[in-house]
Amino acid sequence: MKTFFKSLRFRLLTALGLILFALFYSFGYIVIHTLQNSYKESLEASLFTVLKDIKHDFSEDPEKELSLNETKEEFEIPLLLTQVVAYDSMSNTPHILTRSNDLKEQSLNIEPTIIQKIFEHPNDIVFSIAQDPNNPKRKIYMGTMFLAQKEYQMLFLQCAIPYDKHTPQVQDMSEILWIGLFILLFIVLGLAYVLIAQSLSNVQHITNIAKAMRGETEYSRIPKSHIAYEIDDLIETFNTLLRELQHAYAQVKQFGQNASHELKTPLTIIKGEVEVGLRKERTPKEYEQILEKVGREVGTLHEVIEKILFLSSSTKNDLKKHFHELYLDEVLLEAIEEKRSFAEQKSIKLTIETLEAQNLRGNATLLKIAIANLIDNAIKYSPAASTIHIVLRSHELSIRDEGMGMSAEEMEHIFEQFYRSSRSKESTKGSGLGLAIVKNILDLHDLTIEVQSTEGKGTRVSIAF
């Protein structure tokens, strides 16, 4: 037994267990305490509103009898205990002037300490917890405020509603929280036990292998030793962690590339509009038009950033939960309008040959990004003064340009990330992510894309839905 207590593994687990229990207990206490305070604040807010409303009615006509029962119905409060108390300053005795029906023949207790606090701060409401006069086993939350002064009497208004420190919601939350925290504690301790056991067995062997990995590539792995299951389990855990880190790094890198690619066009437009506005003094109307364009592009930037973040942090099934019915012809027109100024810079005409109403279920912003990328590519690889033909028919969208076209070899790689042919590198700027983004978005919507191209004649892209 003494050997067991001297075990480093036992000491580490005991220390970790105590620390985690203290942290979890503190966290649970803070959560429950916060919920209770929130509940109490909601009660105070309700009482504050009721008291102020009754005092307002009294201030308008002090001689009129207060309708305390109507206040309960007005605020839809199931149980509202209300009374007006006249406190004789000569005899120091309270006298009930009127009470609500919920009080029946009972009355709310007014403590001397409450009166003292009101004397010190007559404009404040004093809140307190007391016993329900109709049910001593039940607590009530009571608010008391100064109402008026009549000769030797001071009038006080008291309102109370049922109070339960441990409401069903708080009780359920408390039980779930403690069960969850204890389960989490045992899970963490179980994992810690495994890791400690592996770490204390042949640690030097794994350390030497890890040291030898310093100069290797990012995809290095520690090979299994086949000496013991514990060692191999630790090695596999370490390799899994390496894979997850590599995957996370790749996602971050991919996000940076996608973000820079998608944000470049709106930023270029904003920069161009600002430069045009600063080039010479213009009329207020012209400045207004420039600001409207800049505002639209800022909105586009905001929208694109949100969707890229959403796309990078959510699975395909998560994204589909946010799909809704949309009109593809409206999305197409928005994408064309977004790229029209870019086309005009090269004197390229965007022609809509056929536009049929088409609706489908999806994400309008992501589909607009995909269509805008296809139009953007058509403009980039088309000669000046040419035409881009756009057709939207039932179950198909096609975009055909009169550009340089692509070879069969280039067609095999167009949807690969970062791929750019030698000719495209010479003629246009880009990151090679546009069509990869298009493919990902269309796959998300279960749409198929087909590309037909002839060198020197142009390219036709078709989306079937």
Over residues 17-39, the pLDDT tens digits come to 888 888 878 887 887 788 778 88
428 assigned to some structural domain: yes
Q: What is the pLDDT of residue 211?
A: 64
Q: What is the pLDDT of residue 213?
A: 58
How far apart CA 235 and CA 371 sit, in angstroms, is 47
Sheet strands side by side (includes 349-355): 349-355, 387-393, 396-400, 458-464, 448-454
Final residue belonging to a domain, choices 130, 148, 168: 168
Distance from CA of residue 186 to its chain's centroid? 30
99 neighbors 67 (Cβ within 8 angstroms): no
Number of domains in the chain: 2
Final residue belonging to a domain, choices 168, 185, 204: 168
Closest listed residue to residue 39, CA positions, set 127, 170, 161:
170
* Residue partners of 426: CB distance under 8 A and separation at least 6: none
459 neighbors 372 (Cβ within 8 angstroms): no
Token pair 């509603």 in the structure block, residue: 161
3-state secondary structure of 144: strand
**For residue 330, what are the domain limits?**
322-464
Specify the amino acid at residue 342.
F
User: The CATH number of the domain where 453 resides is what?
Assistant: 3.30.565.10
Please tell me the total number of residues recorded for the chain in this structure: 465
Sheet strands side by side (includes 93-99): 93-99, 81-88, 153-163, 135-150, 126-132
How far apart CA 403 and CA 158 sit, in angstroms, is 83
How far apart CA 136 and CA 300 sit, in angstroms, is 63
390 neighbors 374 (Cβ within 8 angstroms): no
**DSSP character at residue 239:** H
How far apart CA 199 and CA 188 sit, in angstroms, is 16
85 neighbors 97 (Cβ within 8 angstroms): yes
233 assigned to some structural domain: no
* Residue partners of 88: CB distance under 8 A and separation at least 6: 94, 95, 152, 153
**DSSP character at residue 222:** P
Helices (H), 200-324: 203-212, 229-279, 284-313, 316-320
Cβ atoms within 10 Å of 12's Cβ, excluding its own:
16
102 assigned to some structural domain: yes
User: The CATH number of the domain where 100 resides is what?
Assistant: 3.30.450.20
221 assigned to some structural domain: no
Phi, psi angle pair for 276, to nearest 5° = -65, -40
How far apart CA 369 and CA 414 sit, in angstroms, is 17
How far apart CA 82 and CA 77 sit, in angstroms, is 12
86 neighbors 150 (Cβ within 8 angstroms): yes
Closest listed residue to residue 55, CA positions, set 24, 25, 76, 84:
84
Strand extents, DSSP E, 363-438? 387-393, 396-400
306 assigned to some structural domain: no
3-state secondary structure of 85: strand
Q: What is the pLDDT of residue 353?
A: 92
Strand extents, DSSP E, 100-221? 126-132, 135-150, 153-163
35 assigned to some structural domain: no
Q: What is the pLDDT of residue 419?
A: 52
Token pair 């756009």 in the structure block, residue: 390
Task: Tell me the C-alpha to C-alpha distance, in Å, between residue 265 and each of 103, 218, 296, 301, 304.
Answer: 70, 34, 13, 9, 11
447 assigned to some structural domain: yes
Final residue belonging to a domain, choices 144, 168, 192: 168
How far apart CA 218 and CA 210 sit, in angstroms, is 13
Q: What is the pLDDT of residue 303?
A: 63
pTM assigned to the model: 0.40
How large is the angle between the packed helices 284-313 and 229-279, nearest 10 degrees? 170
How far apart CA 165 and CA 280 sit, in angstroms, is 69
Cα-only R_g, the chain: 37
Question: Which residues of the chain fall below pLDDT 70?
Answer: 1-9, 89-91, 165-170, 198-220, 222, 224-231, 245-262, 303-304, 306-318, 416-433
51 assigned to some structural domain: yes
Q: What is the pLDDT of residue 426?
A: 47
